[in-house]
Structures are given as C-alpha cells and as structure tokens.
Amino acid sequence: MTRKSLALAAVLLWLPIAHAAAQTSRDQIAAGYQLLHSGDPAAASRYFEMLQKAAPNDLAVRYGWLMAEHDRIDFDAARMVPFEKALDAFVSCAQVPNQLVSSEESARSDHTSGY
C-alpha cells in the first residue's frame, strides 16, 4: 500500500467520526421545526442561527434555517439575496463528501492503472 492510499484511508476513517461529533441533536433540530410549524418563522430562523454558531457545517441546521427563511421571503423580498447566498453555501457544504468519494475513486483508478 502506498503512502497516498494510507493517508486517504486515514482521512476516510476519521471523516465519519468528525462529522458525527459536529452534528446537532435531533431534539434540537425538532425544536426549531416546532417553532416554524407553530407559525413563527422569525423565531425559528433565530433559533437555527443560534444552532449554526455552535455547528456551522451541520447540514440539518443549515437546512432548517433555509426552510424558516423561505417562509419569510414572501413577506420581505430583501431576504432573497442572503437566502440565495446561504443556499449556495449549503450546496457547497453538501458537496464536500462527494468530492472525497471522487478522490477515492481517482486513487483507485490510479492504483489499478499502475500510477
């Protein structure tokens, strides 16, 4: 096994542990949606913003904030630009694991090709 393969294996083993440690509990996420579904998108938005400070890369928290803000856009068009930027950031954050998978597939391809 080459050093590159060992390094990649170490990263792939570490990634789920780091991701799990950064996740927000289901109860906390549910509390934000409870605020949203009770008809208070402003409170839900503030709540998800608070959760984002503690876990900025947690996709469930980001998605909750997007849902709360989506409900608020109808009443305040000025929220559209920040919403679109947050949506782009959400997509970028969600694509990181896919990039790691692509790197792993590339490493396998290199190994089978003799590189």
Range of the domain at 63: 3-113
Predicted TM-score (pTM) of the model is: 0.58
Q: What is the pLDDT of residues 5-35, one digit of tens each?
A: 334 344 444 444 444 445 688 999 999 999 9
Whether residue 111 contacts residue 5, with contact meaning beta carbons closer than 8 Å, is answered with: yes
Give dist(CA 69, CA 97) in Å, integer: 26
Mean of pLDDT values over 45-51: 95
Per the structure, the count of domains in the chain is 1
